[in-house]
Amino acid sequence: MSRDRALAALILFVTTAVFIGLWNMATSGNDGGLAPTPAATLRSAIEILSDPFYREGINSVGVFWHLLASLQRVLTGFLVAAVIAIPLGFLLGSVRSARWGLDPIIQILRPVSPLAWLPLGLALLRDAERTALFVIIMSALWPLLLNTIEGVRSVNPLHLQLARTVEAGRWRVIRSILLPSALPQMITGLRLSLSTSWLVIIAAEMLVGGRGMGYFVWNMWNKLDIPAICVAILIIGLVGLALDRAVSALHKVVPHA
Amino acid sequence: MSRDRALAALILFVTTAVFIGLWNMATSGNDGGLAPTPAATLRSAIEILSDPFYREGINSVGVFWHLLASLQRVLTGFLVAAVIAIPLGFLLGSVRSARWGLDPIIQILRPVSPLAWLPLGLALLRDAERTALFVIIMSALWPLLLNTIEGVRSVNPLHLQLARTVEAGRWRVIRSILLPSALPQMITGLRLSLSTSWLVIIAAEMLVGGRGMGYFVWNMWNKLDIPAICVAILIIGLVGLALDRAVSALHKVVPHA
Amino acid sequence: GTGGTAPPAAPAVEPGTHGEDVHALPGIENPELTIGFIPITCASPLVNAAPLGIYAKHGLRVTLKKYAGWADLWGAYVAGEVQATHMLAPMPLALHHGFASGRKATRMPLITNVNGQAITLANRHRDTVRGPEDMRGFVLGIPFDFSLHNLLLRHYLSTGGLDPDLDVDLRILRPADMVANLLTGNIDGFLGPDPFNQLAVARGAGYLFTLTRDLWDGHPCCCLGVSDEWALENPVTYRALTRAVADAAVWSDDPAHRPQAAASMATEQFLNQEPALLTSILAGTYPDGTGRTMQEPDRIGFRPFPREDFGMWILTQLQRWGLTDDRDLGNSAALYAATTEVFDTPAAARALNDLGIDIPSARTETITGIPFDPARTDIWTRREVTS
Amino acid sequence: MPETALSTHDDPSASSRHDASFLHLEGISKSFGSGADAVQIVAPTDVRIGRGQFVSLLGPSGCGKSTILSIIAGLVEPSDGLLWLDRRPIDGPGADRGVVFQQHVLLPWMSARENVEFALSCARPELGASARAEVTDHYLDLVHLGHAKDRLPGQLSGGMQQRVGIARAFSLEPKVLLLDEPFGALDALTRHSLQRELLRLWEADRRTVVMVTHDVDEAIALSDRILVMNHGPDATVTRDISVPFDRPRDPDTLPDEAAYRRLRTSLLDSLTRDETTGDAA
Amino acid sequence: MPETALSTHDDPSASSRHDASFLHLEGISKSFGSGADAVQIVAPTDVRIGRGQFVSLLGPSGCGKSTILSIIAGLVEPSDGLLWLDRRPIDGPGADRGVVFQQHVLLPWMSARENVEFALSCARPELGASARAEVTDHYLDLVHLGHAKDRLPGQLSGGMQQRVGIARAFSLEPKVLLLDEPFGALDALTRHSLQRELLRLWEADRRTVVMVTHDVDEAIALSDRILVMNHGPDATVTRDISVPFDRPRDPDTLPDEAAYRRLRTSLLDSLTRDETTGDAA
Ligand SMILES: Nc1ncnc2c1ncn2[C@@H]1O[C@H](COP(=O)(O)OP(=O)(O)OP(=O)(O)O)[C@@H](O)[C@H]1O
Ligand SMILES: Nc1ncnc2c1ncn2[C@@H]1O[C@H](COP(=O)(O)OP(=O)(O)OP(=O)(O)O)[C@@H](O)[C@H]1O
Ligand SMILES: O=[N+]([O-])[O-]
Ligand SMILES: [Mg+2]
Ligand SMILES: [Mg+2]
């Protein structure tokens, strides 16, 4: 056990070292081009992270504020998606004809790249901020909806029979049987939704601009400041990881999951 | 059963009709806005789909060729991701210390938006086509890898004990026990990977350009031809649905899944 | 190129003296204003007016909002996110007359800069490309369909006997994407705005093949566009804005102000570029990527007047290349009318007058050596233009 | 119709003559599928069960025992026939019949107590919160779960879970208890002790019980009467046997009696008689 | 050490004196956890099992029966002690011991035939393809699965699956068969018929068998000798009982004998003696 842990630490260390070594070899030769060296990236990281809270005018703020803006958009869109997907999922999960009727629409809309929604959103909503939300909703909706439907359908039929034999009302069935049954899979859906949203917001912010990690990446791209982009990638990854862990923690709150 | 089907058809019809009605109401009034009317979209669809195969000048081609280019990129990237993820997944699924060692790296890289990889890919690979592939690989890799790992780990320990009691060799254990055990979850991973790839290629092609459905959308956005974007959304959705169905069909090929 | 002849109609103003005694107009309806811009050097008047306090001097409280590409800005403007914005000179015409999705009644009180573009080619073409005829098969970046860049490049290629629709691939790229695409070999070159031409040189991605100044000296580039509705509802604000931007343009045009203009634009919230890069462009002393250092004070100029000839030429070219949504714009008189619907020359004249600056006098535009006669627009709408 | 297979039987309809048709299945049959694919699983079956009787339904796997129990529970609609409980027709499920399933009987997100209270609050809404808690405590104590009331099902052994299910069914105080192989998923020792516990509970108020079982010893030890079904399709009750032992019984000493062993052999015979060689096991 | 609980026992070490230590557990113990958390589940245990003996391991739930069987199988390493099979030390699993698990015993993606052939091709690679097919057919026929050889496990009933598992274990022709509650997951009737089948198979070549079971009747019906374990932790074999009935036996008539009933009561007593009230069921 502890030998395995030591070995794991060694593997992590060696992999990281080899990766940075290769990176350095690949980039340190051609310093005129785009590719950043590890050292330049580290310098950039120190610079960016040493003052994350500055504010100078509306388009010039520290990385913290960009992060905050992205998080706020993702969480808002995600909440709206949940408010739509969960009741709809319960309806579609329990009423077969509604499920069959809406399935073709869901199946076609689901695989549409959220980025393709961007222009349409802008056209329809006439507002960049609402468009970003719209795109997040369109990406977060489907995993949550499909998982809620599946969760509701996976309810143990014996539990429903039990409910009938004790003459439980419709509302009690939903609250005491369907909801707890569907919860674990709903949480899986939440996780998928959140990670898709996080993936998409970066792209959306590249288009809608103003503030956010996506805007940050784009602004650095404008200058071809690739080391800063590498730093942003790392930050995006770490925050995405934290979000995922937060939703996974729900699994523990739901004891039977 | 058949009454439910009829009801489902009715729901589908009514939903579609209401949707198109609302769309028409929302757009037909203000003809100055960006949002296209259903009629304009239909005209555009007819125009785009009536001649999908044209080739004109050095880079003006019909929508079929764009679709082909996207499919080719997605499938290539997806295959490369599979070739990396499946053996690696087997290794990490069965060797605990390797899994522990690489887990931090995987967890951080996974939630990075593939779009953030784009600039980095361009910088490192200095080639748009390879960058598109790189981005697809970076998005297809994780669901496949994580599902393969989980699939391998979910092997019934009794089956492994059985293998030991009959003195089965390492290779036979992999081929006859680990692989079939992991297969259903690997297929789930394949589905997730493919749908993420399809989501991402559109975004990637917006930047790397030249050809592909993403470029088509991007170009139409830059040319402000919004009806064409609506048509593209529909095509992207339908093709994504077809891809998903194709991978799901694997579930049926694997009988115990 | 070496220094060309100075345009005859440059406003004769002593640096720093114009408009000193001009004060904010009384009765500004709504001093809070958001203005969109694209982070390029052409934006100097619109952008620098903020850090220099020119907007404030004219009684406006302006928020500048940065956009990544012209389509995004078009969408935001049509959606009503911004009422007044940085535009490419053909955009107000296209928006007003509805040549693409999103028609919006628009007026354009000021062309804010002239020249300021270049054709940048990948280094591998250094020894082979002499003129447009050598660009057959090229993939060339342009920032937008409704851009002088597009129209000028198409015309230029046609003078080499190329059909720009068939013999090259004109690819729309956001300005910021141009250099990376050049670096990765994705395109052969681009006709783009600065600082990206000079950034391509700085990154070793390419060289300056020609300045657009050498194709058409004094060509219009960017402008200020506002929605008709807004201008009508806020006439005083509109007047103040026009005056402020004209003031800033004149300020920017002064060679003595250019280093300061470069520095104040370079910050992260505006162009987010190295100040030295911007200075070399604005001051007109720069390496061209082939080893030479050039002196070209007219590389970019900020001469704020919407001349009708500009609009008419633009409309001929939109017609010529099929960018009018299949509409025939008609003869010279019709083009003149279509232009004056949008080009708010009186507003420009009043603003310059307020600032005590002379209105530029008429002149004949010469494009790739061909003089533009506004009475004979028909020759400019044919695929092959011969003088 | 009741067959009298053994010398020591008594007529079930006579055992509680005043209410011999408390639960009455009148020509009940059940087919699954439709049109040409329809298969009649249960052939028309008539059964009268007296108030307070403990009846076991014994039969080979897949013959339709659970189907009949579900019909009585109101969960499955019979294809034909009528059902009467206490002289009123049955249509649909109701809390006058308490069901104990073979497994997955508890809602895993509720503690033992909550599981019982949930059923009570649905079936007997007239009870207030404190009365409900009292009834719950009473029945959980009866099945010796006083110390584990607040555990989740996942923290209970299979036997303990089944006890909660039994407590829940009894707590509803239904007219009929329906048990579908209540001990089928348990190991031999646990099964043994739960059988004794069920017997003890039942002795207390002699509620009417219909229990499906595979286990001949279980059927003999617990029932007043055993209904044997034949191999399906078209299965029906082919034997109706009274169990001749006095109450209260001691299931541990019963096997010592010769009558027990004869009854056992006879039942095993009829169960294995029409078994096909392979698939039955 | 062997206790002689009943008058009708005979000394197990004498029953096949020439090879009384064919399988020898010498001071085997097992702890789980490490440091302060270590719990000794199995206290040092000595057992000698003669060649050809059918030995049952009986004990309360969780006492460590499966642990001991896994140690013999080589799947679990003992914390202390030595193991001998046919005078050679055991370290690690091997095909000289055939294991039948309680359930999930078959690879679900292989047909019955393929499951047996997979085991054979691993354990007895010296067999050619045709010999392998022949052995497979033979053993599947023996367990009455001739008609179902090409079905996948999902298409077989639980009892049929268990039969395949038994056929597979026998087909390896191991020195010892290790059965861990082989019928524990089956219903009473199926269990009954499989017990008879196992007995028949075993009679054919009297291979050495160690079987874990919960079921007292099963242990008596099948074994030569019953090892009873006490409640854990620190469990060990506390009683070693010889079963006095002649071979071949008829499990159906055995219960008629008084000795059977005395043995049964005595075993049930020692199993339930130290049971705690609630959790044990
Ligand atoms: N909904 C259904 N549709 C079609 N056939 C069904 C359905 N429910 C049950 N059957 C069939 O009816 C037959 C009887 O099923 P049932 O569950 O009542 O048997 P059982 O006697 O309870 O068996 P077991 O002892 O295995 O529990 C079986 O052959 C089963 O396959
Ligand atoms: N790997 C392990 N780590 C820790 N404890 C274990 C482990 N395996 C088994 N145990 C514990 O050892 C004890 C004996 O387990 P074992 O499975 O041998 O019991 P058993 O007698 O077979 O029980 P059952 O009759 O329920 O099958 C149990 O308390 C169990 O929790
Ligand atoms: O950005 N442009 O000026 O085209
Ligand atoms: Mg049943
Ligand atoms: Mg065990």
The pLDDT of residue C16 is 44
Q: What is the mean pLDDT of chain B?
A: 84
* Angle in degrees, CA D92, D98, D100, rounded to 5: 110
| pLDDT value at A82 more than 60 | yes
Q: What is the mean pLDDT of chain E?
A: 85
Give the confidence band of E238 by pLDDT, cuts at 50, 70, 90. very high
Tell me which H or E stretch contains E199.
helix E188-205
In chain E, which residues have their Cβ closer than 8 Å to the Cβ of B159?
Answer: 104, 107
Q: What is the mean pLDDT of chain A?
A: 84
The pLDDT of residue E19 is 82
CA gap A85, E98 in Å, rounded: 53
Q: Which two tokens stand for residue E253?
A: 């008539």
Closest CA to B140 of B216, B204, B198: B198
pLDDT in tens, A184-239: 888 888 888 888 888 888 878 876 667 888 888 888 877 778 888 888 888 888 89
Closest CA to B180 of E179, E153, A154: E153
Q: Residues E156-169: what's their mean pLDDT?
A: 89
The pLDDT of residue E264 is 87
Of A166-170, B160-164, D101-105, the one with minimum mean pLDDT is D101-105
Closest CA to E236 of E76, E91, E67, E75: E67
Closest CA to A74 of A185, A214, A183, A187: A214
The pLDDT of residue B19 is 85
C191 CB within 6 A, ligand 3: no
Q: Which two tokens stand for residue D245?
A: 């032992």
Give the atom of ligand 1 at the shortest distance from the alpha carbon of D229: 21
In chain A, which residues have their Cβ closer than 8 Å to the Cβ of D101?
Answer: 158, 161-162
| pLDDT value at E1 more than 50 | no
Q: Is residue A125 part of a domain?
A: yes
Q: What is the mean pLDDT of chain C?
A: 89
Q: Residues A104-117: what's their mean pLDDT?
A: 80
Q: What residues pack around ion ligand 5 (CB closer than 5 A)?
A: E 66
Q: Is residue B20 part of a domain?
A: no
| pLDDT value at A114 more than 60 | yes
Closest CA to C51 of C312, C252, C242: C252
The pLDDT of residue D118 is 95
Low-confidence stretches of chain C (pLDDT < 70) are 1-22, 387
Chain C contact probe: residue of B224, B225, B229 with most C CBs at under 10 A: B224
Residue C242 burial (10 A CB sphere; 0-12, 13-18, 19+): buried
Model ipTM over 0.85: no
Strands C114-115 and C84-88: unpaired
Give the HSE-up count for residue B101: Cα atoms under 13 Å, Cβ half-sphere.
23
3-state secondary structure (DSSP) of residue C193: strand
3-state secondary structure (DSSP) of residue A78: helix
Chain D contact probe: residue of A154, A162, A174 with most D CBs at under 10 A: A162
Q: Residues D6-32: what's their mean pLDDT?
A: 67
pLDDT in tens, A139-185: 899 889 988 998 898 888 889 999 999 999 988 999 999 999 898 88
Q: Residues A66-90: what's their mean pLDDT?
A: 93
Give the confidence band of E10 by pLDDT, cuts at 50, 70, 90. very low
CA gap D118, D123 in Å, rounded: 9
Q: Is residue B206 part of a domain?
A: yes
In chain D, which residues have their Cβ closer than 8 Å to the Cβ of E278?
Answer: 144-148, 160
The pLDDT of residue B31 is 54
More confident residue, B188 or E167: E167
| pLDDT value at E31 more than 80 | yes
For a ligand 2 pocket test, name from E29, E30, E32, E179 the mutation site with the most ligand atoms within 8 angstroms of its C-beta.
E32
| pLDDT value at E114 more than 90 | yes
The pLDDT of residue D2 is 42
Ligand 2 atom 16, closest CA: E64
C268 interfacial to chain A (CB closer than 8 Å):
yes
Of B18-32, B161-175, E96-110, E209-223, the one with minimum mean pLDDT is B18-32
Give the confidence band of D144 by pLDDT, cuts at 50, 70, 90. confident
pLDDT in tens, B77-136: 999 999 999 999 999 998 888 888 888 888 888 877 777 777 778 777 777 888 889 989
- Residue length of chain E: 281
A253 interfacial to chain D (CB closer than 8 Å):
no
CA gap B210, B128 in Å, rounded: 9
Number of domains comprising chain A: 1
Q: In this complex, which chains have at least 3 CB pairs below 8 Å with chain A?
A: B, C, D
Give the confidence band of E274 by pLDDT, cuts at 50, 70, 90. low
What single DSSP character describes residue A174? I
Of C312-321, D6-15, E122-131, the one with minimum mean pLDDT is D6-15
C42 CB within 6 A, ligand 3: yes
The pLDDT of residue E226 is 95
Predicted model pTM: 0.79
Closest CA to A206 of B225, B218, C141: B218
Q: Is residue B187 part of a domain?
A: yes
Q: In this complex, which chains have at least 3 CB pairs below 8 Å with chain E?
A: B, D
CA distances from C94 to C90, C104, C307, E136 (A): 6, 9, 17, 82
The pLDDT of residue D17 is 46
Alpha helices in chain C (DSSP H): 44-48, 54-57, 70-79, 90-97, 148-159, 175-183, 196-202, 228-233, 235-253, 258-265, 275-283, 308-320, 332-340, 345-355
The pLDDT of residue C17 is 46
D79 CB within 6 A, ligand 1: no
Give the confidence band of B62 by pLDDT, cuts at 50, 70, 90. confident
Of the listed ligands, the closest to the CA of D63 is 1
Give the confidence band of D5 by pLDDT, cuts at 50, 70, 90. very low
Distance in Å from the first CA to the final CA of chain B: 27
The pLDDT of residue C57 is 93
Residue E107 to residue B176, Cβ atoms within 8 A: yes
CATH at A218: 1.10.3720.10
D163 CB within 6 A, ligand 1: no
Q: What is the mean pLDDT of chain D?
A: 85
Residue A192 structural domain? 38-253
D61 CB within 6 A, ligand 1: yes
D270 CB within 6 A, ligand 1: no
Contact A148, A182 (CB under 8 A): yes
| pLDDT value at E131 more than 60 | yes
Distance (Å) from the C-alpha of residue C109 to the closest C-alpha of chain B? 22
At position C222, the amino acid (one-letter code) is: C
The pLDDT of residue A57 is 64
CB proximity under 8 Å: D 202-261 to E: 213-218, 252, 255-256, 261
The pLDDT of residue D9 is 37
Give the HSE-up count for residue A48: Cα atoms under 13 Å, Cβ half-sphere.
27
CA gap D174, D169 in Å, rounded: 8
Q: Residues D251-262: what's their mean pLDDT?
A: 81
The pLDDT of residue D3 is 43
pLDDT in tens, D55-72: 999 988 788 999 999 999
- Residue length of chain C: 387
Q: Residues D111-138: what's their mean pLDDT?
A: 93
Residue C171 to residue B56, Cβ atoms within 8 A: no
- Interface size, chain A vs chain B, as Cβ–Cβ contacts under 8 Å: 200
Residue C209 burial (10 A CB sphere; 0-12, 13-18, 19+): buried
Q: Is residue B221 part of a domain?
A: yes
Closest CA to D146 of D113, D103, D99: D113
Distance (Å) from the C-alpha of residue A57 to the closest C-alpha of chain B? 25
Residue B237 to residue A109, Cβ atoms within 8 A: yes
For a ligand 1 pocket test, name from D28, D65, D79, D236 the mutation site with the most ligand atoms within 8 angstroms of its C-beta.
D65
Contact E74, E97 (CB under 8 A): yes
Distance (Å) from the C-alpha of residue D184 to the closest C-alpha of chain E? 6
Residue C100 to residue B225, Cβ atoms within 8 A: yes
Q: Is residue B83 part of a domain?
A: yes
DSSP character string of C246-275: HHHHHHHHSGGGHHHHHHHHSSTTTT-S-H
Q: Is residue B121 part of a domain?
A: yes
| pLDDT value at D279 more than 60 | no
C30 interfacial to chain A (CB closer than 8 Å):
no
Q: Is residue B8 part of a domain?
A: no
